[in-house]
């Protein structure tokens, strides 16, 4: 049976939440395909999915949230993919609001959490920093970079599967990739209830991973925005140091030369990276066999 919409839920030991969440999703969208990606759970996830007559795909061991997302995207039959957490933080009642934005012509609609929906002040501060940094890199306002609740056109999402990490930071990568490719991204304000069970995210470990991925994707998206400030800082430091040594000892020192050379090399690396970046997105408008789901 062909499906227009596939709802993908990555899950690791979320049986308690799935027991009530799956029937609620079915009530909101009765004709959608629902896929639970069991990422090495040790609870009753598989049995609950069977009882709810929901398709379940199990990983042989825990591969990560991003890996579960990729498995769901490869196997989903719908033309539109809806990704949501299985821990109860995303309300099924918000799905139609995301789909409305796709109907308006956007390629991806993201559920943007308000401040009260953040899991503590430290998470709110970190997410705010990530949002501002990524907004500067892409030149567009990003309201919630790390939200895992989103609806997206399947054929466009699958173009970037090779870029997605296996850990928790797939939303970061896919958001910035969509902006880089010129696909329309909309944000829908949502309120996220408190999750059921314990979070699998480590604030410090995954926070550092998010930051590294933003820098990595930033170099793929707009390398000059990363390399130009570094090059300018080398040049400015070299100029200031040369002025100091010229006034004090009337010499042009090796340190000044090293700083100027570093500025030139960093600038040239940025230019080359800009050309390499374009190659990653040269096929973003072309359809191919990889756009079709795997059966």
103 falls in which pLDDT band (50, 70, 90)? very high
35 falls in which pLDDT band (50, 70, 90)? very high
HSE value, Cβ hemisphere, 13 Å, CA-based, for 230: 15
Average pLDDT of 183-208?
71
Contact by Cβ (8 Å): 118, 199: no
Instruction: Calculate what percentage of the chain has a pLDDT beyond 90.
Output: 52
Is the pLDDT assigned to residue 92 strictly greater than 80? Answer: yes
User: Which string of b and e fits 175-210 if b means at least 16 CB within 10 Å?
Assistant: bbbbbbbebbbbbbebebeebbeeebbeeeebbebb
Token pair 């796709």: residue:
102
CA distances (Å), origin 152, targets 98, 159, 174: 9, 12, 10
The pairs formed by 45-52 with CB atoms below 8 angstroms and a separation of 24 or more are 45/11, 45/13, 45/14, 45/15, 45/18, 48/15, 48/18, 48/19, 48/22, 49/18, 49/22, 52/18, 52/22, 52/23, 52/26
Token reading at 226 = 């990363």
Instruction: Please give the pLDDT value at position 289.
Output: 40
Sequential DSSP letters for the chain? ---SEEEEEEESS-HHHHHHHHHHHHHH-TTSEEEEEE-S-SSSHHHHHHHTT-EEEE-SS---HHHHHHHHHHH---SEEEE--SSS-S-GGGHHHHHHHHHTT-SEEEEEE-GGGSSSHHHHHHHHHHHHHHHHHHTS--S-TT---EEEEHHHHGGGGGG--SSTTHHHHHHHHHHHHT--EEEEEE-PPPPSS-----HHHHHHHHHHHHHHHHHHH-HHHHHHHHHHHHHHHHHHHHHHHHHHH----HHHHHHHHHHHHHHHHHHHHHHHHHHHTTTTT---GGGSPP-
Is the pLDDT assigned to residue 204 strictly greater than 90? Answer: no
Is the pLDDT assigned to residue 293 strictly greater than 60? Answer: no
Interatomic CA distance for residues 175 and 131, integer angstroms: 11
288 falls in which pLDDT band (50, 70, 90)? very low
Instruction: Please give the pLDDT value at position 195.
Output: 56
Is the pLDDT assigned to residue 4 strictly greater than 70? Answer: yes
Instruction: Please give the pLDDT value at position 118.
Output: 54
287 falls in which pLDDT band (50, 70, 90)? very low
Instruction: Please give the pLDDT value at position 197.
Output: 52
Is the pLDDT assigned to residue 231 strictly greater than 80? Answer: yes
Token pair 């066999």: residue:
289
Average pLDDT of 207-223?
69
Contact by Cβ (8 Å): 6, 82: yes
Instruction: Please give the pLDDT value at position 9.
Output: 96
Is the pLDDT assigned to residue 165 strictly greater than 90? Answer: no
| Mutual angle of helices 203-221 and 121-138, in 10-degree steps | 10
| pTM flag (> 0.85) | no
225 falls in which pLDDT band (50, 70, 90)? confident
């Amino acid at each position: 049976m062909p499906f227009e919409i596939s709802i993908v839920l990555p899950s690791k030991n979320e049986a308690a939440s799935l027991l009530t969440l799956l029937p609620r999703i079915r009530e909101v969208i009765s004709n959608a395909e629902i896929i639970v990606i069991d990422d090495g759970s040790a609870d009753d996830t598989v049995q609950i999915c069977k009882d709810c007559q929901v398709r379940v795909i199990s990983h042989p061991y825990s591969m990560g949230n991003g890996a579960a997302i990729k498995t769901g995207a490869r196997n989903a039959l719908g033309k539109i993919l809806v990704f949501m957490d299985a821990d109860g933080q995303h309300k099924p009642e918000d799905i139609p609001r995301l789909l409305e934005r796709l109907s308006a012509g956007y390629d991806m609609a993201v559920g943007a959490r308000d401040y009260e929906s953040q899991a503590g002040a430290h998470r709110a501060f970190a997410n705010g920093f990530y949002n501002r940094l990524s907004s500067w890199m892409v030149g567009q306002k990003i309201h919630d970079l790390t939200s895992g609740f989103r609806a997206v056109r399947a054929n466009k999402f699958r173009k970037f599967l090779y870029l997605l990490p296996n850990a928790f930071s797939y939303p970061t990568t896919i958001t910035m990739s969509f902006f880089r490719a010129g696909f329309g991204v909309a944000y829908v304000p949502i309120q996220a209830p408190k999750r059921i069970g314990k979070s699998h995210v480590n604030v410090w470990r995954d926070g550092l991973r998010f930051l590294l991925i933003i820098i990595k994707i930033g170099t793929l998206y707009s390398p000059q925005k990363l390399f130009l400030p570094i090059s300018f800082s080398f040049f400015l430091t070299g100029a200031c140091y040369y002025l100091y040594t010229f006034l004090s000892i009337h010499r042009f020192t090796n340190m000044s030369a090293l700083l100027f050379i570093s500025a030139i090399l960093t600038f040239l690396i940025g230019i080359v990276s800009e050309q390499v970046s374009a190659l990653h997105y040269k096929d973003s408008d072309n359809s191919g066999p990889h756009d079709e789901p795997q059966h």
